[in-house]
Amino acid sequence: MIFWRMQHGGIVYMQERIAFVDVYSEYLIITGIETDRSNATVLKHIKAFTKHPDFTNHYNNLPFTLILHKYKEVSEQINQKIAPFKGSIIFNDPLVAQIIEPVVRELYNNMVHKKTSHC
């Protein structure tokens, strides 16, 4: 999982979707659906995140931190993509686990609610 935190924001890597979640506002930006979790895929979606209109219009001038549980081997490439936007990166598996649990629970509850409301 990847999260961003404004300084106050988060990337959530879900099974086949890549989404960025601001852990303070719970605002969600989905950058696409993928079938793999490769380094190249993550780098592609970090770039897409920095170009997403919701990021550029609302967060672009605010410092942020990407919080990841893996992908240290491409941390230099990640930093190159986010540094121009005042971004930084940390790797913290326990923090990712703590942040993801309520996000996943909320996403699941929303999916169940949508499924039952259409029946």
> What is the total count of domains within the chain?
1
Please indicate whether residue 98 or residue 89 has the higher confidence score (pLDDT). 89
Q: State how far the Cα of 85 lies from the Cα of 82, in Å rounded to an integer.
A: 5
pLDDT given at position 115: 60
Please indicate whether residue 101 or residue 45 has the higher confidence score (pLDDT). 45
Tell me the whole-structure pTM to 2 decimals.
0.70
Cα end-to-end span (Å), the chain? 32
Angle at 104 between CA 90 and CA 86, to 5 degrees: 30
What φ, ψ does residue 65 adopt, rounded to 5°?
Answer: -130, 130
Distances (CA, A) of 112 to 16, 72, 103: 18, 35, 14
pLDDT given at position 46: 92
Domain span at residue 21? 2-117
Above 70 in pLDDT, residue 86?
yes
Above 90 in pLDDT, residue 61?
no
Q: State how far the Cα of 40 lies from the Cα of 60, in Å rounded to an integer.
A: 23
CB 91 within 8 A of CB 68: yes
Task: Write the CATH number for 69.
Answer: 3.30.420
pLDDT given at position 51: 92
How do residues 6-27 score in pLDDT, each as one tens digit?
444 455 444 446 767 676 666 7
Please indicate whether residue 79 or residue 119 has the higher confidence score (pLDDT). 79
Percentage of the chain exceeding pLDDT 90:
19
